């Protein structure tokens, strides 16, 4: 039995949800998102509470039960509040800045790295060594953070690179003479 799928999802204030055939649409202050519902689960909306139940006892149906519930929850939180990922840059001369719709990173390469900011996502640099990514789609925000981190992942000897704010880098001891 799915422990996640059993829990109903409460619709937050300011978010409207409608289910049409196999499509669930949510609209909130951060935009509109839709989710195609699998044929293996039954989704119902009663009194601003979304419940998900498997249609059969097959393994696929039970797998999709928890997955669908989690995706619906992420969608409702995303259109209501949004998701934020914080990145930190460590290293001498490493910095970031937002110029128009581009994130410009100086990461020790011979050229600055320009990363275009997609629609529906906001990026801010409060300090030259901190990047904040905010958006309504959890998958998109996480993917962008991962792509930016991949330009210069943190290395274990000096700790230089781009890391998540809540990530700890295990440091290694250098060479011995």
Q: Which two tokens stand for residue 92?
A: 């001498």
Tell me, what's the pLDDT at 98?
92
In a domain, 158, yes or no: yes
Q: Which two tokens stand for residue 24?
A: 């669930």
Q: How many domains, the chain?
A: 2
In a domain, 172, yes or no: no
Tell me, what's the pLDDT at 1?
55
Let me know whether 56 and 92 are in one domain: no
The residue from 33, 55, 80 where one domain ends is 80
Tell me, what's the pLDDT at 59?
86
CATH number of the CATH domain containing 29? 3.90.930.12
The residue from 80, 106, 123 where one domain ends is 80
In a domain, 20, yes or no: yes
**What are φ and ψ of residue 55, in 5° steps?**
-80, -35
The residue from 21, 49, 80 where one domain ends is 80
Domain of 102, in residue numbers: 83-164
Let me know whether 92 and 40 are in one domain: no
Residue 5 has pLDDT above 90, yes or no: no
In a domain, 105, yes or no: yes
Let me know whether 105 and 118 are in one domain: yes
How far apart, in Å, do the first and last CA atoms of the chain sit? 58
Let me know whether 55 and 89 are in one domain: no
Report pLDDT digits (tens) over 81-137.
889 999 999 888 899 999 889 999 998 889 999 999 998 899 999 899 999 999 988
Let me know whether 74 and 140 are in one domain: no
In a domain, 145, yes or no: yes
Tell me, what's the pLDDT at 2?
62
Report pLDDT digits (tens) over 13-72.
888 888 888 888 888 888 888 888 888 888 888 888 888 888 888 888 888 888 888 898
From the CB of residue 124, how many other CB atoms can be counted at a distance below 10 Å? 12
Nearest alpha carbon to residue 67 among 97, 92, 99, 43: 43
Tell me, what's the pLDDT at 64?
86
Let me know whether 88 and 25 are in one domain: no
Let me know whether 153 and 136 are in one domain: yes
pTM for the predicted model, two decimal places: 0.83
3-state secondary structure the chain: CCHHHHCCEECCCCCEEEEECCEEEEEECCEEEEEECCCCEEEEEECCEEEEEECCCCHHHHHHHHHHHHHHHHHHHHHHCCEEEEEEEECCCCEEEEECCEEEEECCCCCCEEEECCCCEEEECCCCCEEEEEECCHHHHHHHHHHHHHCCCCCCCCCCEEEECCCCCCCCCCCCC
Let me know whether 68 and 133 are in one domain: no
Q: Which two tokens stand for residue 122?
A: 């906001």
In a domain, 147, yes or no: yes
């Amino acid at each position: 039995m799915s422990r996640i799928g059993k829990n109903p999802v409460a619709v937050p204030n300011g978010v409207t949800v409608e289910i049409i055939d196999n499509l669930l649409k949510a609209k909130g202050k951060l935009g509109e998102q839709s989710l195609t519902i699998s044929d293996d689960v039954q989704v119902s909306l009663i009194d601003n509470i979304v419940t998900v139940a498997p249609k059969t006892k097959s393994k696929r149906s039970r797998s999709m039960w928890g997955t669908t519930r989690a995706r619906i929850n992420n969608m409702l939180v995303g259109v209501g509040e949004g998701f934020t990922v914080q990145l930190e840059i460590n290293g001498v001369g490493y910095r970031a800045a937002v110029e128009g719709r581009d994130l410009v990173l100086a990461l020790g390469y011979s050229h600055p790295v320009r990363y275009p900011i997609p629609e529906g996502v906001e990026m801010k640099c409060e300090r030259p060594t901190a990047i904040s990514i905010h958006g309504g789609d959890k998958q998109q925000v996480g993917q962008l953070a991962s792509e930016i981190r991949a330009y210069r992942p943190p290395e274990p000897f000096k700790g230089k690179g781009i890391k998540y704010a809540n990530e700890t880098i295990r440091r290694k001891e250098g060479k011995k003479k």
